[in-house]
Amino acid sequence: MNLNNLCATFERDGFSNDSYYINARYSAKISKGHLAELLGLPTHGKLFPFQCLLVIEHPEITHSFLKKLILHDKNGDMVGFKKTATEGNWLIGYKDRRGSKLSEQKVKLNPSTTELIEKIIKITKPLRDFLKERHDDTWRELFITCGFGFSTPSSAEYPSWNKSAFKGHPKYLDMLKDQFHGHTTRRDGELEAFLARVSISTLRASSGVLVYLKTKSVAEMAKALGHARYDTLLMKRYLPEAILAFFQTRWIRIFQKGFICEAMKDSPYLLEAANFSSMEDLHSFLTNHALKCVPQHLSNPEHTMTEKETSADHNIKQVLISIDPGIMTALVSLEKAVDAASTPEKICGRATYWADLSRKVVAEINRGNDYLLKQHLSDALSHCNPEKMKGLIYETSSRA
């Protein structure tokens, strides 16, 4: 029998776990495991990749949520998977650890995970029909498998991907390695160690860490993991201690850098003290200090402009810039670093912007007669350090 005949027979008769029927209709020469694979049946472990992909996209999904997830109620109505035209598509289950009032959990699906659920429903339909005819309530569940071939369909069990399981089933490990070879450069022991770490729990933890790295917020991480409230102790289960410690000290360093910048903004030694590590940091400092709003009593000390004229943008004839030795030193250093750049086409937009502003400010100070401003410029020129700016001006334009 060729594959077309096998599939036609299965489509006509549906799933059966009767060995006599299987041998008579399909051929005793084909092993049940191979036959199940040819027919695309959800055998043991075959739905695990679907579950992993769901968890990666929606880290609030837990092991308990997926276990025996009910797709249909007793009347046959679909309750676990809801598709709506206006509110999107939802996977609905229960998470017992949240308590009775919060046990129902609704996960809003995206287009890719909606497609995953629809595929799972199609794949498991033959088993579902078989169980329904026999009044076995397992038919109502989303994840159903038929063992390693044509066993009686039952609730899907999670495969054990760990060192002890691999040691007891070397052929299973070899099969997994072959499947992963096309998707990773890991081989032999390194690949085995990687596979031994794959589980719903580790995938959730990794996805939670990604949210934390993007948002720097443990509250957002807790929300992404589906926690009813933020719990420090619970977060420590997901966030590696080294990463948590790094970001906790990072915020301390940010505040310390802020104090240094504020304290040294009037000093020509600002660059040495602050040691800006990125164009973004320098841009924020200059924006907050060089282009800050000038108080009304300083910009219009004689009160010669009316309130209406002050608020009208089209009446503004000049731009007021706050200048002191620290700011001037930063601007001149940046300007000279941009002018000396060996690859000017790679300079980021922010560096070009501040260098242009520096040229205009220097020209304005030189043209005027303000002694204090000229002193600030003189201090800046004597303390400027283009070398400190070289590493900042080439940052990518996406950050500019």
Q: Per-residue pLDDT tens for 127-164?
A: 999 999 999 999 999 999 999 889 999 999 888 888 99
91 phi, psi to nearest 5 deg: -110, 125
Q: Beta-carbon neighbour count of residue 200 at 10 Å?
A: 20
Task: Say how far apart CA 254 and CA 399 lie, in whole Å.
Answer: 19
Residues 6+ apart with CB under 8 A from 126: 10, 14, 15, 41
Q: Which amino acid is located at 136 in the chain?
A: D
Higher pLDDT, 6 or 399: 6
How far is 234 from 185, CA to CA, in rounded Å? Answer: 34
Specify the 3-state DSSP secondary structure of 35. Answer: helix
**Number of neighbours of residue 115 by Cβ within 10 angstroms:** 12
* DSSP-H helix ranges across 134-187: 163-168, 170-180
Cβ neighbours of 255 (radius 10 Å): 9
**Tokens of residue 399, six digits:** 């950050």
pLDDT tier at 306 (50, 70, 90 boundaries)? low
- Pairing label, strands 104-109, 144-145: unpaired
Q: Which residue has the tokens 């007793």?
A: 74
Average pLDDT over residues 60-84: 92
Q: Is the backbone of residue 72 left (phi > 0), alpha (psi -120 to 50) or beta?
A: beta
What is the arithmetic mean of pLDDT over 344-365? 85
d(CA 114, CA 336): 55
The model's pTM: 0.60
**Whether 225 contacts 208, CB under 8 Å:** yes
pLDDT band at 348 (very low <50, low <70, confident <90, very high): confident
Whether residue 27 has pLDDT greater than 90: no
C-alpha–C-alpha distance, residues 347 and 262, integer Å:
28
Strand locations in the chain, DSSP E? 81-83, 89-94, 104-109, 144-145, 154-155
Mean pLDDT check: name the lowest of 123-137, 200-214, 296-310, 329-343.
Answer: 296-310
Domain boundaries, the chain: 1-158, 199-239, 261-296+318-399
Measured CA angle at 211 (ends 184, 98), to 5 deg = 110
